[in-house]
């Protein structure tokens, strides 16, 4: 038993002395498994964090978030960047075909330029524009044209907004002893247990780890008040 407790402490298992032998063995097995995958997870996390920083996210803010949360933030940021690049391409095409700077011209100036395009070239230009920007500058109604151009300009000018993953949860966990537990209000959004970092929402889905936290008396978990 002493050897198990020593091993548990080496693995960072809290309150090892309070656990029974079966509980210790289970906790040790889980911790060892986590250690085996930690190196790969760390490498992946570092790569994702590097990409997030390249996209303009704050390194310190995102350093403690899970791999899945980083993937979500990166995916959304990359999609937004792609939309901006596509919009910029459309704007450049309009500028080239109409001879005006789409980004600095007013909607009225763009519409006037479209109306002044030589009639014999209008059909060819219209087909090219429709293919690349999704609407026909030369056949669309004036009111609809203003709306379409306004929307295109809005996408072109829209800033990239950092989306911070929300990992806290007020849900409860019903333990094997029949008591319901929740995370303490002071508990951080994400924290380390058994050498693994997860958000509260992710821990709440990990039944075995929640049981171990409760059995080990982790301060972040408390009984739900009736």
In a domain, 68, yes or no: no
Answer yes or no: do 184 and 150 share one domain: no
Cβ distance 76 to 114 under 8 Å? no
Answer yes or no: do 31 and 82 share one domain: no
Answer yes or no: do 51 and 103 share one domain: no
By C-alpha distance, which of 221, 218, 196 is closest to 68? 196
Q: What is the pLDDT of residue 159?
A: 46
How far is residue 79's CA from residue 85's CA, in Å, rounded to a whole number?
10
Percent of the chain scoring above 90 in pLDDT:
17
In a domain, 106, yes or no: yes
Last residue of a domain, one of 133, 157, 181: 157
Answer yes or no: do 79 and 150 share one domain: yes
How far is residue 121's CA from residue 124's CA, in Å, rounded to a whole number?
6
Q: How many structural domains does the chain have?
A: 2
In a domain, 67, yes or no: no
Answer yes or no: do 28 and 80 share one domain: no
Q: What is the pLDDT of residue 101?
A: 80
Q: Radius of gyration of the chain from Cα atoms?
A: 28
Give the tokens for residue 174: 């019903």
pLDDT along the chain (226 residues), means of 10: 78 78 81 78 87 88 85 88 75 72 77 63 54 58 64 50 65 92 91 88 93 89 88
In a domain, 200, yes or no: yes
Answer yes or no: do 102 and 150 share one domain: yes
Answer yes or no: do 151 and 79 share one domain: yes
Q: What is the pLDDT of residue 119?
A: 45
pLDDT tens string 148-169: 666 655 544 444 444 434 789 9
Range of the domain at 173: 2-61+165-223
The β-bridge partners of 110 are none
Answer yes or no: do 44 and 108 share one domain: no
Cβ distance 171 to 182 under 8 Å? yes
* Dihedral pair phi/psi, residue 192, rounded to 5°: -100, 135
Answer yes or no: do 172 and 216 share one domain: yes
Which segments of 55-174 does DSSP mark as H helices, in order?
59-62, 67-98, 107-115, 119-133, 142-157
Answer yes or no: do 31 and 54 share one domain: yes
In a domain, 133, yes or no: yes
In a domain, 66, yes or no: no
Last residue of a domain, one of 137, 157, 177: 157
Last residue of a domain, one of 157, 173, 194: 157
How far is residue 138's CA from residue 181's CA, in Å, rounded to a whole number?
64
pLDDT tens string 73-96: 898 888 888 877 767 777 776 777
Cβ distance 194 to 31 under 8 Å? yes
């Amino acid at each position: 038993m002493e050897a198990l407790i020593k091993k548990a402490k080496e693995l960072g298992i809290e309150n090892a002395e309070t656990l029974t032998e079966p509980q210790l063995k289970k906790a040790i097995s889980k911790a060892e498994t986590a250690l085996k995958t930690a190196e790969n997870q760390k490498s992946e996390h570092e790569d994702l964090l590097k990409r997030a920083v390249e996209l303009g996210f704050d390194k310190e803010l995102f350093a403690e978030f899970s791999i899945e949360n980083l993937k979500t933030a990166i995916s959304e940021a990359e999609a937004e960047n792609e939309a901006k690049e596509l919009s910029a391409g459309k704007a450049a095409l309009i500028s080239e075909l109409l001879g005006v700077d789409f980004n600095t011209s007013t909607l009225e100036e763009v519409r006037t330029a479209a109306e002044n395009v030589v009639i014999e070239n209008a059909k060819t230009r219209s087909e090219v524009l429709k293919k690349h920007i999704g609407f026909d500058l030369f056949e669309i109604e004036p009111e609809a044209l203003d709306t379409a151009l306004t929307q295109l300009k809005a996408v072109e000018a829209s800033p990239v907004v950092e989306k911070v993953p929300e990992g806290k949860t007020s849900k409860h966990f019903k333990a094997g002893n029949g008591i319901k537990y929740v995370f303490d209000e002071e508990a951080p959004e994400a924290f380390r247990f058994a050498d693994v970092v997860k958000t509260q929402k992710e821990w709440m889905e990990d039944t075995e780890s929640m049981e171990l936290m409760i059995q080990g008396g982790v301060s972040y978990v408390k009984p739900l008040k009736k």
